[in-house]
Each structure stands twice: as C-alpha cells, then as structure tokens.
Chain A
Amino acid sequence: MISRFKQTWAFVYRDYQLTRRYWSWVVVFTVYAVVSGASVALIGVASNDRKLTLTLTIGVLFWSVLSVLFNEIAMSIAFERWEGTLEYTFMAPVSRLIHLTGVSLYAAAYSTLRAIAVLGGLFLFLDLDFTGANLFGLLIVLVVSSLAFVGLGLIAAILPVMSPERGAEATNIFQSILLLVSGVYYPISVLPKWVQPFAALSPATYALNASRKLLGVETMTPDGKLIGQPLASVQSELVTLAALGLLLVPLGLWVFGMAERWAKRTGKLKRTG
C-alpha cells in the first residue's frame, strides 16, 4: 500500500518538478488564458448585458479547469514521447491505474490552481460580483464533472500511443470539438441541427448548464442581482455527470490497456515517433 502511494506520488512529483522547471511557459499560458478569457467576457460588457457577461465568464472559468485537466491527461503520453522517457515509464513496475491516477491527481491540482489564477486575472478586467450565487454548488459540479473529464482524457491519451506520428494532433482536434459542441460560450440551440446531438455526449454541456443555474444567471433580478439555485435544481445534471464519470474512467483505463497491448505487439511503444 505504502509502495503504491509512493508510486502514485512519483508522477505527482515529476509533473510538479517539470512545471517548476518550465515556469516561464506556465506564466505565458496563464497570461494567455487570462487575456483570451477577458477578451471573451468583455463582449458581454460591450453589449451592456450582465447576463451575457456572466454566461461568458462562467464558460471561461469552467473551460479553463476542464480543458487543462483534459489536456494534461490526454497529452501525458505525447509529452513522454517528446521527452524520450516513454519506454522507461512503461517498463517501470507500476500498474497503469497507478500511473494514470498520479497523472490525473497532478492535472486536477494544476488545473484548479490555474483556474484560480485566471479568475484573479479576470477581476482586473471585469467588475465581477458573485453575491447570491451558489458557490458551494458550483464547486460540487466542478468536482463531479472533473471525473468525467479525467475519463475522457484517459481515452484521448491512447491516440499518441496508437499513432506516434499523428496521435497528438488528433488529441487536440478532439479537445476543440468538445469546446465546439459543449456550449461553453453560447447556448447549444445556436449550433447547426446536425451538431446538436453531439452536445449530449459531452460532460461539459451538463457542467455548464448546472453551473449557470447555480450561479443564478437565468434567474437574475431586473437590477442584476444573482439568485443562485439550490443544488437540488441541478440533480439531473449531477447524476448524468456522475454516471459519465463512473462510465468513462473505467472505460478509459480499459481502452488504454488495450491500446498498450496493441502497441507492444506492433512496436509502437517506442521513445521516438
């Protein structure tokens, strides 16, 4: 048990040290996230529409957490290949469950801290007031939806395993499709009819629906006061998110195991690609 804890810690330790050594890039990406987030939210300010501003802001914040979480997990194998350490990690006596748990734990901590930094940055550009919002409920939704995004990240992480040449590109396309179909900045109804069914498959759709209710965007008073809905009002979204998490995490691990076995048969599990 202690040994397994140490092995899980190995990945957290490694990713923390890498973040520390690449700190200037972390600053660059965070500044970029703040500026692009503010640019999106300022569209609401320009329209003199508080409801739109808050809809966009909550989209920026949720996407900031979930996309980074997804990306850190999904790209973990591609990063290993680029660093040249893939073979060493895969020949270590560590189960894939422990390996991917360690990667996911660090990704969750990193994405949360970055989202807090983004929120802090947004305060520099926007007059944000969350009085009346159900912030505790928002936190619950974020935690539950994170599980589903971990599962999606695990599934996407197999792409660089299966294709050393094109896997990382495919992972990025997958992430951009999630952004498109999930209604991060707009209602799903504005999407073309043929795209709308895909929204139902994305956990972000349910997370954003729930978060807007809990924030009180839909029930805002005429003078702009937020009336955050209770957690019970997003029960169906929470159940769906929990179900997606419980389905996607084991599915991700299973698919990853299949991809690893295939890569070992075909010789794709190599450090270069």
Chain B
Amino acid sequence: MSCLAIRVSQVKKVFRKRTGWWRGQSTEEWALKGVSFHLKQGEAYGLLGPNGSGKSTLIRILSTLLVPDGGEVEVLGYKLPEQEAQVRERIGRVSVDAAFYKKLSARENLLYSAFLYGFDKAEAEKRAREILGRLGFPLRRFSDPLEEASRGMQQKVAIARALLLQPPLLLLDEPTTGLDPKSKREVQEFIEELRRESGTTILLTTHDMFEAERLCDRIGMLAHGSLVAEGSAEDLVRLAGGGTLEDAFIKLSGEKLTGEEEATAEGA
C-alpha cells in the first residue's frame, strides 16, 4: 500500500466526437495530455484552471466514472480502473451542481446514500443531522423537498452526503461555486475543521483564488489538459514574478504558455 492518497502519472484522456456517418470520421479533443501529480495522505491539494482545462475530467477519472486512455492512476494505494470497487468505498465527492432527487427531502436523499453504503437508518439519520447542523443547515427543513431549498442549502446537503460516509479522501469539484458569501464561508470553515479533526485528504477544484489559498497546502494549475505549474500559493506567486495568486493564475494558465514552458514551482 502506498502512503500517497492519490498518484496520477502521465494520465491522458481524449474524447472523440463522430462527425460523419462513416466509421472513423471523428474529431479528437484532448482533455488531459499527460498529467502527473500526487497527494499525500491528509494533504489538501487545489486544482485551478480555466473552464475546459481538464479539472472535471480528472475528478471523474478519480471518481471511477471515466477510464483514462493512458497513464497510471492510484487512489489510496488502489489502481484504477482495476480496483475501482475498493476506491469507491473510500471516496466522497461533491460536484459543482448538487445532484439530488429534487422531489425528495434532504432526509430521504441522505438515507438513500447511507443505505447504498450499507449504513443503518438510525445511525445515518443521527450523523446526517449532526453534519447538517454543523454546516448551518436549518434542520426544520430536513424533511422538505430539496427543490424548495436554496442552492446554498442544497450544496450543504451534498457536502453532508459526502461526509456521511466518513471517507478518507474527499473530491470537491467547485463545491462553493454559486454560494452566497455566508454559505461559502460556512462550507470553507467546515472543510478546515474536517481536516483538523479527521485528517481527511482533500482534492479541491475551484475558480476562487482566495479559497484555494485558504484551504490548500499545494496548488496545481491546469491549462489545456496539462499541469503547467504546481506548488504552494507563495511558490506560484513567486514563479509568476509576484502579485497575487490571481495574477499568477492568469499568467501561468494563459494561452501563450506551451508545453516547453511548463514548470513546477517545487522544482524551480
């Protein structure tokens, strides 16, 4: 067993779209062009990148929903896609859109998830209430359909769903996008608390530079399917020649940056 939570080595993914009726007539779009990075257990790692840079593709590969076309992926010492059953038992995921049965209540959605993972009803309900309470979710709305809840409340239920399972690895795909400042802060504080108390390993994708700087030990910058820079927030700012992390993001993930110019702050 590796002591790394995630090991991604030269991972490639291409999506083909058929353009004609005849076989072989298709266009290729490279979502990942040989990405490598790793996460130590208990570490929080941020993936930054513009839309379409490959962040969600990477998260979907780590979530066992997508099989890479090349390279190696290991999650908590288990190889993907060969050992996907073991990986699934150990990961939680929160995506940008809170994917729920909107007609069902928070309670019904969370109990469904809990049963999927083999939890008892009473145990799951107690834990769900506890986590939602800590996240600032109004518990009087616990049995109301989620379609009546605000986006912030829905996202808190999504986080509770991922945490209900007490996973050693949490994949957070833009978890605070679209949240109001108060909800965003509550979620960020909870993630910090979770790391402090449980030592959960976190892979976070975000467009919020402040969030990445606040929550992540290291940050990787993806652009056009390649990891163009990696290091702590301070390292990346230094690599970009000063300014803020946002300045570094714009500079390092810019169009003019090519494969030859790739650099890692760690190695710099």
Contact = CB atoms under 8 A, between A and B. Distances in A.
Interface stretch (B108-116, B187-195, B254-262): B108-116
A9 B63 CA distance: 23
B263 interface: no
A85 B15 contact: no
A172 interface: no
Given A13-B111, A84-B100, A91 B93 contact: yes
Given A6-B115, A7-B118, A266 B16 contact: yes
A3 B118 contact: yes
B118 A6 contact: yes
Contacts of B81: 264
Interface of A: 2-4, 6-7, 9-10, 13-14, 17-18, 21-22, 83-85, 87-95, 261, 264-267, 269-271
A84 to B, nearest CB: 4
Nearest to B89: A93
Interface string B15-59: 110000000000000000000000000000000000000000100
B85 A18 contact: no
Contacts, number: 93
Given A14-B112, A17-B104, A93 B16 contact: no
B141 interface: no
A13 B115 contact: yes
Interface of B: 13, 15-16, 57, 60, 63-67, 69, 81, 85, 88-89, 91, 93, 95, 97, 99-104, 108, 111-113, 115-120, 145
A204 to B, nearest CB: 31
A84 B97 contact: yes
Contacts of B118: 2-4, 6-7
B101 A14 contact: yes
B104 A21 contact: yes
A84 B115 contact: no
Contact of B102 (A83, A92, A265, A270): A83
A6 B100 CA distance: 20
Contact of B116 (A10, A261, A266, A267): A10
A18 B118 CA distance: 20
Contact of A85 (B65, B99, B119, B145): B99
Given A3-B118, A14-B112, 8 more contacts: A7-B117, A13-B112, A18-B104, A83-B100, A85-B100, A93-B88, A267-B15, A267-B60
A93 B103 CA distance: 24
A92 B99 contact: no
A95 B84 CA distance: 11
14 contacts: A6-B118, A14-B101, A14-B112, A17-B101, A84-B97, A85-B101, A87-B60, A87-B95, A91-B64, A91-B88, A264-B64, A264-B67, A265-B67, A270-B60
